[in-house]
Amino acid sequence: MKNVTNLFLVSLFSGVITLGTYKLFIEENSITSKNIVTTAPMFATKNVGLSAETVDFTEAAGSALNQVVHVKNVSYRTVYNPIEFMYGHRGGQQQQQIGTGSGVIISEDGYVVTNNHVIQGATELEITLNNKKTYPAKLIGTDSKMDIALLKVETDEKLPYAIFADSDQVKVGEWVLAVGNPYNLNSTVTAGIVSAKARNLDTSGIQSFIQTDAVVNPGNSGGALVNTRGELVGINTMISSNTGSYVGYSFAVPSNITRKIIEDIMEYGNVQRGILGIEGRELNGAASKELNLTESQGFYVNKVTKNSGAEKAGIKSGDVILKLDNQNVTSFAELSGYVNTKRPNDEINVTVNRDGRRLVIPVKLTKKELLNYEFYGLELEDLEPADKQRFKLKQGVKIKDITNEKLVPYAEELKGSIILSIDGVKAIDVETISRGLGSKTEKEGVRVELMLRNGQVMRVIL
């Protein structure tokens, strides 16, 4: 009888252990143009503390799938027969090349936004809707710096279109969906969270990406990054990978920057860039200690550009920028990302720390093209198309004037020359140089590679 009782107790105890294990390990784990809509509804859904299973992606995915298109890029190149080429027969044959990517419909009358690199060099463009209908597309305009392009298709039917969200309000940890056509697999949706905002990847253009762990692969470029309400928060642009395929993180151009670019293209025919007119460096513990500052976050102003809005408003070298309007500034990416949503003559309130005092300074942004950059006594300006054609260059900056006394004897030879790189960094434009040299003082030497007017390339140390 005692053995039977013991057996019963052991069985009962085992059952409790089994049930407890199930509860612990199984149940826990199952827990511009008036046609473009650029204002997201003013409400938010809070999913704090909820597991993935309680978030319903189906409605957002369903709407986004119909708003995202497949983009086909057709180009041609001439292929020569080596033997014919050797004997002077250089007619060659036209070989078709096809590239593919994604795009997002942003108006019912057929405007589509995509990446510039998706349509670059295209002779013909074609888009395919989610319902398999195809249309030829016309290129309206591009911004290669920010990797955004605007297309237009002509159709009598009203197309489903994306609504822009305010990307400044996107939160780290928020659920997002990436919608596109990776590897020509049409209408693909992946889910992830916003991993970081204002991510600086040291590219030549945009410095303020939204980083996400939603799976993105080749072909997703130009597709939509949407929130759980189906609103557009970004345009998927690139991945960070040694293999060329997804390994953990992808990056999107924020919707606020995208919206501003396409509105500029539609209204002005090109992108209107406003700049503050400052150079400097973002702060951290080491930089603050070096500069003897109390602030450990913000953007330290090392130099103010002559005749810029910042100079006219009274911003000074040594100021630490803490906020632009209501947006906190803890990095260059956050500063440039916010300014890139503005136009020349827009006014923004700049909050600075000056010698321990907080000041709010209204600054009217200056048009980028109206300012010249002065570097080590060299007044520089961006290359014009005629300069690029003459020197057969895609990038560089021109020396407009010489103010450095030591270089005055060489002024005649240096004026009109093209700077190709500084300290090994390509001189893409004046803004790139300004950003790269923002933390340097003119007491530090730099290596400059330049092309003289006669085409000779030389290297000097300033």
User: Which residues are known to be catalytic?
Assistant: 117, 147, 221
DSSP letter at 23?
I
Nearest Cα residue to 197 out of 300, 77, 330: 330
From CA 204, how far away is CA 425, in angstroms rounded? 10
| Sign, CA torsion 306/310/314/316 | negative
Nearest Cα residue to 361 out of 323, 334, 335, 327: 323
Distances (CA, A) of 62 to 66, 182, 237, 431: 7, 18, 22, 41
From CA 204, how far away is CA 430, in angstroms rounded? 11
From CA 90, how far away is CA 81, in angstroms rounded? 8
Bridging pattern class, strands 373-375 and 378-382: antiparallel
Asked whether the beta carbons of 33 and 141 are under 8 A apart, the reply is no
Q: Which residues pair with 279 in a beta bridge?
A: 303
Task: Count Cα atoms within 13 angstroms, Cβ side, for 217.
Answer: 14
From CA 234, how far away is CA 197, in angstroms rounded? 11
From CA 332, how far away is CA 441, in angstroms rounded? 18
From CA 15, how far away is CA 65, in angstroms rounded? 48
Helices and strands of the chain, counted as H and E runs: 12, 27
Q: What's the CA angle centered on 384, arms 378 and 415, to 5 degrees?
A: 30
- Residue 367 parent element (H or E): strand 366-367
Nearest Cα residue to 129 out of 116, 147, 112: 112
How is the chain split among helix, strand and coil, in percent rounded to 5?
Answer: 25, 35, 40
Can you tell me which residue has the tokens 């054609």? Answer: 389
Taking the C-alpha atoms of 189, 193, 197 and 199 in order, what is their torsion angle to the nearest 10 degrees?
-70
Phi and psi based region of residue 175 (left: phi greater than 0; alpha: psi -120 to 50; beta: remaining): beta
Taking the C-alpha atoms of 34, 347, 318 and 374 in order, what is their torsion angle to the nearest 10 degrees?
80
